[in-house]
Amino acid sequence: MTNRADGREFLSFVLENLYRRIAEINLSLEQGQKEIEDMHEYYWENYTEMDQYGYEDFDNQQALLHQINANQEQLLLKRRFRKMLDSPFFGRVDFLYEGEEEPEIFYIGIGNFAQKAGGIPLVYDWRAPVSGLFYDYDKGPASYTAPLGEMKGEITSKWQYKIRGGKMIYDFESDIKIDDEILAAELGGSGEVHLKNIIRTIQREQNAVIRNTRDRILVIQGAAGSGKTSIALHRIAYLLYHDREHLKSSNILVLSPNSVFSDYISHILPELGEENIQEMSFDLFAYRELKDVAADCEDRCDEIERKLRYPEREDFCREKQSEEFLNHLEGFVMKLEDELMVFRDVKYRTFTMDEDRIIELFYFRFQEIPLLSRMDAVAEYFIDEIETLSGTDLPEEEQLFLMKKFQKMYETTDLYVLYSGFLEQEGFGALPDVPLEKRHLRYDDVYPVLYLKYRLKGGREHSGIRHLVVDEMQDYSRLQYLILQKMFPCRMTILGDKAQTMDGELSDAVSFLPKVFGKGIRCIVMNKSYRNTLEIAEYANQMAGIRDMEIFQRHGLPVEEKRFSGFGQAMEEVLRALDRVREKYETSALIFRTEKDALRAREFLKERWGERFSYLDRNSSAFEKGVTVTTFYLAKGLEFECVFSVFPGEKDDPLTRQGRYIAATRAMHELRVYEY
């Protein structure tokens, strides 16, 4: 037996067993594939002679499905083991249980690994209960909660390892100081094209959030660079690991800001041994729901660009998301109960449903059904009566004829027309009176219309989604959360940073979320920033007036500030620095105030520097290595080793100030602030 206490010797032992297990899986897959082929061959040779009741055919199909599933499980296992060949483990805890004389040694890695299936692990998954010892304790008294209860004892030794390509880069016994050195080395390393997984450097306060299974709605209010998105995704991986029976990757949806951000985080769960999850923007979700209302809808980018062009109209946009506006919309819905209806008798051959009966059914029997769906229930009730009394089913075309008769009792069922009437009533001015194919909704009208649709027609609950992750929570209005609460009655992880709002004013969603989701909500504040160097973080905090952030002590270059006489001069300075920056860093960005400025920079660089950069706009779907040109609102959530923040000096509206802060906080190692 190998010496488990020697990390280097143990690495060789684990690698040897990984190769052996992979070879066994390959053999098993070959045999499984042959069995599938044999089953297919047997079926086609014998299906004409199988018993008339189909029992043999059913048994054959079940056996085939079982073998296909078994092969799929083996493929997933092989994929995980192959990943582990690069770095089988990264930590170790020697734990002396109470009443024992010798400590047990636990190695911790990206997944469980044993010499044979079902055996005692050589390496424990970072999400296993015992692995909590590695993240939550230093040497000394410690405990963890296992299925059998609380296990108490003492950590006698704790080690950290860096393994790459199956080779030991370093191994040493760790304490708090060395943990910080490792974290500083990880944070100070070269940038990657995707968000890093953090299992090697999870901090104690982060681990508490990741392993939280109690709270139905968990809200993470995290400072810029606190790792909140990573933590949320690691939490999802943890929940998947601990609730395999009820939760699968397909049951999870992430509402992310845009497609580029989705790409930026897409590799995290596969790296952690899980299948990827569904991701989309809330805007895209809304537009799909409103296809029958308007042909075109603005997106968040349109609204931000408008605010930047006309900052004085900020209050007008905000008004339609306010609680007062929503209360008036609710009052309008109540008035429609009477004002929208024109009741009359409905006749069909010898059958009649008179007006009074329709009113009784509409306002009493079916009052819980949303207004614009309610008359369908009345019509179906009448059709059931006719079929019962006549003893025959009505043909489908006759049923449709009757349904249309009942529908005509609404003055209109067009949500666009109804919302337009509400706006006119409230003094905003009506929407253009145009057919569906020419209808265009401004962004500030999109979610009020979606809410109105939910209230008047009902919304389908997305029961297949059992956990919703909402990122950039500060950019969602109370109205949007009310829609989410109705559409997704499931557990949620909601995260964001009130200092990075896309509104002109700081927006703290935490202040109203308990009113939306009720008592089953817990808010965790994470005020420690890890992304930026001390110099960059202090510069950004001073800009935003933030005083309560704890900054991880990692020093770097001072922030460079320069002022130029015009946009062209600022870009000439950028150009002088780009070749050096491109050689030094894997990722860097030129961040601008507006789409127009970003496009000007793109044309300038194309002409003077060639195609050695990528341009990121609202239609982009991938985050790429190298130099990126974009706007501050599309850069939000991303991080770059070096950032050029290029903003017009005379613009000083609230949203532009937010833009400067967001641009600054994207920089990991180097920040250059250019004004013109």
3-state secondary structure of 432: coil
Q: What is the largest CA-CA distance in the chain?
A: 92
Distance between CA atoms of residues 487 and 465, nearest Å: 10
Phi, psi of 104 (to 5 degrees): -95, 140
pLDDT confidence bin for 322, thresholds 50/70/90: confident
Find the mean pLDDT for residues 571-579.
Answer: 95
Q: Is 53's pLDDT higher than 60?
A: no
pTM: 0.84
Residue 473, both tokens? 């929570």
Kindly write down the DSSP assignment for every residue of 162-194, as one continuous string.
EEETTEEEEEEE--HHHHHHHHHHHHHS---SS
CA atoms of 172 and 157, how far apart (whole Å): 10
Query: pLDDT per residue over 422-450, tens digit each?
Result: 999 999 999 999 999 999 999 999 999 99
Q: What is the structure's pLDDT at 72?
A: 82
Q: Which helix (H) or strand (E) holds 245?
A: none
What's the pLDDT at 368?
94
Other beta carbons less than 10 A from residue 432's beta carbon? 10
Question: d(Cα 481, Cα 470) in Å, to the nearest integer?
Answer: 10
- Taking residues 330-355, report their average pLDDT: 95
Q: What three-state secondary structure class fits 593?
A: coil
pLDDT over threshold 80, residue 312: no
126-147 per-position pLDDT tens digit: 999 999 999 999 899 999 999 8
Which 3 state secondary structure label does DSSP give 273? coil
**E strand segments, 376-456:** 440-441
Q: Which two tokens stand for residue 43?
A: 């079926």
Residue type, 24: E
What burial class does residue 210 get, using C-beta atoms within 10 Å of its C-beta: 0-12 exposed, 13-18 middle, 19+ buried?
buried
pLDDT at 111: 92
Q: Let me know: does 423 contact 415? Beta carbons within 8 Å.
A: no
Q: Please say if the pLDDT value at position 555 is more than 80.
A: yes
% pLDDT > 90, the chain? 69
Lowest-pLDDT choice from 3-12, 155-164, 452-461: 452-461
Token match 């001069």: residue? 569
Round the average pLDDT of the chain to a whole number and report it.
90
The whole-number pLDDT of residue 178 equals: 47
pLDDT at 43: 66
Q: Given a cut of 80, is residue 19 above it in pLDDT? A: yes
